[in-house]
Amino acid sequence: MLAAIGVGGVADLFAAVPERVRLREAPDLPPGVPEPEMLRELRALAARNRPILDRPCFLGGGMYRHAIPAAVDALQGRLEFVTAYTPYQPEASQGTLGAFFEFQTMICELTGMEVANASMYDGASAFAEGCLLATSATGRRRVLVSRGVHPHARAALRTATAHAGIEVEEVTLAGGSTVLPRSIPTDAACLALQNPNFLGAIEEVAPLCEAAHGGGALGVVSVNPIALGLLASPGECGADVAVGEGQPLGVPPNYGGPSFGFFAARQEFIRRMPGRIVGETVDRDGKRGYVLTFQTREQHIRREKATSNICTNNALMALRGAIYLASLGPRGLREVASACATTAHAAAERIFAIPGYAPLLEGPFFHEFAVRCARGVERVRAALAAAGIAGGIPLARFHPEYPDALLFAFTEANTPEEVDLLVETLRRVQ
């Protein structure tokens, strides 16, 4: 090969690299090991973690432990999906494109919205992009964001808007729910909220969206996709943009990533959406096929005027979401949602019957709620940890106004024995 190229050695191929910056020694990494040793080392490291798969877990806060159909792993793991890239050549990518088209359809059906994209990085970045869409669609520069929105989503929004000439104004909570603003400022692009919110409360989405519309602003709503098996969809509530964290749909928590974000909106905002969008069309013979479409929104064509800089998204995780939803179907999703809510409500009744534990909020919740711990948050957490229980999350980290509250989440994957152990452990805290 060197002879064909016409050079004497591999070093000649790097002649353009200035002599004095060429490495003389190997970089300071440990020496390489064969595959079995690498896997053995990683198994040993994994053993030093305490995963939540097979022990009582009541952690939530945006990521949840749900049962995942075995088919999700097997089908998503097909190397034809894993090792392809963005479907720039549609004839060679009908698998990925077809799956995205179906994914978009499922997200539209779940959210009640007219159009969806083929995924975002995660829920937090999808939320920030949803607010940015509202600013470009309205030409207004203020984002009203509920304090009930996930703290990471609010943080991502602050970072994304820090230098874009956009004001972020937080809307306070009362009783854990977003206060209906008395008036919407004339420069407000959107009212952005989360349902159920970070504290677990079910928000009054429809009146909040209506209030936003009354002031010429959009309603941007972040939703838990499992909750949509039971709760009114953003579309039904009049939202203009619906986003969310896709992890509950068949993705392990992965310590926070990768998961996927979903992004849906009213049809009229199609040209302002970020990310890849797949459309159906026909080939030369009139046969149905799928392509990436509305690509002129994107960075590879519009460069600095693109709707977003997003290029790579989280396609493979979105594929998991699609396979998960197709496995469950509408009845399965409703059953999962119902089991989450039923377990959470049964657990709440038992926990709040114990002296020293009181609900932080009085309003309706879905599968997550905050518990005020008169016996002391740290004591309770120590007891839970000693019992091998994962959760709850100390709310004070994000909401200093609630110093004595722990957030607990319940899903269909919690067994009766797990709930019993939680209740008993709470009861015994000294």
Partner 1 sequence: MRPDDRRYSATHEWARPEQGTYVVGVSDFAVEQLGDLTYLKLPPVGRKVRGGESFGEIESVKAVSELYAPVAGTIVEVNAAAPDALELVRQDPFGTGWLLRIRPEAGDGGFGKLLTAQEYGETLETH
Partner 2 sequence: MNKDLSIFERSRSGRRGFDPPRPAFPAREGASLFPPRCLRRTPPALPEVHELDLVRHYVLLSKKNTSIADSFYPLGSCTMKYNPVANEVAAAMPGFAWLHPFQEDAEAQGLLEVLKRLERSLAALTGLPAVTLHPAAGAQGELTALLVARAFLDDRGERDRRTVLIPDSAHGTNPASVAMAGMEPLPVRSGPDGLVDLADLRGKLGRGTALLMITNPNTLGLFEDRILEIADLLHRAGAFLYMDGANFNAIVGVTRPGDFGVDLMHLNLHKTMSTPHGGGGPGAGPIAVRAEFAPYLPLPRVLEKDGRYSLEWDSPKSIGMLRGFLGNSGVLLRAYAYLRRYGGDGVRSIAEHAVLNANYLRVRIREGWHVPYDRICMHEFVATNRRIKETGIRTLDVAKRLIDLGHHPPTVYFPLIVPEALMIEPTETESKETLDAFAADMLQIAREAQENPDLLREAPVTTPVRRLDEVRAVRQPRLRFPCANSAVVVRRDSPAAPANP
Binding site for partner 1 (CB under 8 A): 271, 295-296, 301-302
Single out the residue of 248, 407, 416 nearest to residue 346, CA to CA.
416
Binder of residue 138, out of partner 2, partner 1, none (CB less than 5 to 8 A by kind): partner 2
Binder of residue 131, out of partner 1, partner 2, none (CB less than 5 to 8 A by kind): none
CB-nearer residue toward partner 1: 118 or 336: 118
Q: What is the C-alpha separation between 328 and 331, in angstroms, rounded? A: 7
CB-nearer residue toward partner 2: 310 or 371: 310
Structure tokens that stand for 189 in this block: 């692009």
Binder of residue 79, out of partner 2, partner 1, none (CB less than 5 to 8 A by kind): partner 2
Binder of residue 267, out of partner 1, partner 2, none (CB less than 5 to 8 A by kind): partner 2
Binder of residue 1, out of partner 2, partner 1, none (CB less than 5 to 8 A by kind): partner 2
- β-partners of residue 192 are 145, 220
In whole angstroms, the minimum distance from the beta carbon of 284 to partner 1 comes to: 15
Contact yes or no for 234/223 (Cβ under 8 A): yes
Side chain identity at residue 196, one-letter code: P
Q: How far is C-alpha 378 from the geometric centre of its chain's CA atoms?
A: 29
CB-nearer residue toward partner 2: 123 or 171: 123
Max Cα–Cα distance, the chain, nearest Å: 84
In whole angstroms, the minimum distance from the beta carbon of 271 to partner 1 comes to: 8
In whole angstroms, the minimum distance from the beta carbon of 168 to partner 2 comes to: 12
In whole angstroms, the minimum distance from the beta carbon of 302 to partner 1 comes to: 6
CB-nearer residue toward partner 1: 74 or 301: 301
Burial class (CB in 10 A: 0-12, 13-18, 19+), 164: exposed
CB-nearer residue toward partner 1: 136 or 296: 296
In whole angstroms, the minimum distance from the beta carbon of 136 to partner 1 comes to: 13
* b/e per residue 363-389 (b: at least 16 CB within 10 A): eebbbbbbbbbebebeebbebbeeeeb
In whole angstroms, the minimum distance from the beta carbon of 20 to partner 1 comes to: 43
Taking the alpha carbons of 325, 110, 92, 80 in that order, is the dihedral positive or negative?
negative
Strands 405-409 and 393-394, bridge-based pairing: antiparallel
Q: What is the C-alpha separation between 272 and 136, in angstroms, rounded? A: 7
Strands 188-195 and 142-146, bridge-based pairing: parallel
Binder of residue 172, out of partner 2, partner 1, none (CB less than 5 to 8 A by kind): none
Binder of residue 358, out of partner 2, partner 1, none (CB less than 5 to 8 A by kind): none
Binder of residue 65, out of partner 1, partner 2, none (CB less than 5 to 8 A by kind): partner 2
CB-nearer residue toward partner 2: 304 or 401: 304
Q: What is the C-alpha separation between 403 and 157, in angstroms, rounded? A: 25
CB-nearer residue toward partner 1: 271 or 288: 271
Tokens 């003389």, residue located = 24
In whole angstroms, the minimum distance from the beta carbon of 45 to partner 2 comes to: 4
CB-nearer residue toward partner 2: 173 or 239: 239
In whole angstroms, the minimum distance from the beta carbon of 296 to partner 1 comes to: 4
- β-partners of residue 407 are 370, 393
Residue 236 CB coordination number (10 Å):
13
